[in-house]
Structure 1
Amino acid sequence: MIRILLPALALTLATATTATAQVGPPTSQRTCGANRQLVLRDGAVVLDTSPQTYARFVRSGAECLVGQFPEPAWVPSSNNPQCFIGYRCKDSSDDF
């Protein structure tokens, strides 16, 4: 029985990890509200902010690692060039 469950569990975990890593259209192709809702709904999300740039955005400091703090983040959107989307987690050592 365990021989059957382990491969199924491994496949499920691999599929879940792959789906989480997918990035949708650039923030500039969505409205400010749609971008913000993605962050609020998921808590933490990686978004395409330009053709070569991806960043992780979070809804609050609770999604940051120990030793990190939330810093307000703005992205370009289809209806606002400076859309407040949430926060980015910064290391406290980034200030030095």
Structure 2
Amino acid sequence: MVRFAAALGMCLVAGAAAAQRASTTGMTCGQARSFLAARGAAVIGTGGYTYDRFVRDRSFCQPTEVTRTAFVPTRDTPQCFIGYRCIEPSLDDWFGDD
């Protein structure tokens, strides 16, 4: 019984930690950009239950991926340039185009 209670407690703590993701809607545009710049790459909420992985530059992507500019809603700006998303290029994607 003690082991079960300990396991249950660990699950609750892990669930609470996962639920505390940074959200761009609670930050100013400058704060969101600084947050990503300091970390290089981060999974950030963009409102409600939506989130994505954003990167500072291509060095945080897989070797086969390229970057696409990313704009997110923030507290003071509806379309804030935060950085980039990593994508697998298709035939329609060209390096440098966006």
Fold match by TM threshold 0.5: yes
Deviation at 1:28, TM superposition (A): 1.0
SS of residue paired to 1:36: helix
Where does structure 1 differ by over 2 angstroms across 4 or more consecutive aligned residues?
19-22, 93-96
**Is 1:61–2:58 an aligned residue pair?**
yes
Q: CA deviation at 1:93?
A: 3.4
| 1:23 to 2:34 alignment | no
Q: Counterpart of 1:88 in structure 2: which amino acid?
A: R
Cα 1:22/1:82, change in 2 over 3 Å? same
- The structure in which a higher percent of residues are helix is 1
Q: CA RMSD in A?
A: 2.2
Structure 2 unaligned residues grouped into runs of 5+: 1-16, 94-98
Counterpart of 1:51?
A: 48
Deviations 1:24-63 (A, max 9, x none): 2x21110000000011000001100121111000000110
Taking a change above 3 Å as real, the CA distance of residues 20 and 50 of structure 1, as seen in their structure-2 partners, is closer
Deviation for aligned residue 1:94: 8.1
Q: Return the letter of the residue paired with 2:82.
A: I
Sort the Cα spacing of 1:82 and 1:65 in 2 relative to 1 into closer, same or farther, 3 A.
Answer: same
Hey, what's the Cα distance between the residues in 2 that align with 1:57 and 1:87? 6
Q: 1:70 to 1:51 in 2, by over 3 A?
A: same
Please report the TM-score for the alignment, with normalisation by the length of structure 1. Answer: 0.71
The TM-score with structure 2 as length reference comes to 0.70
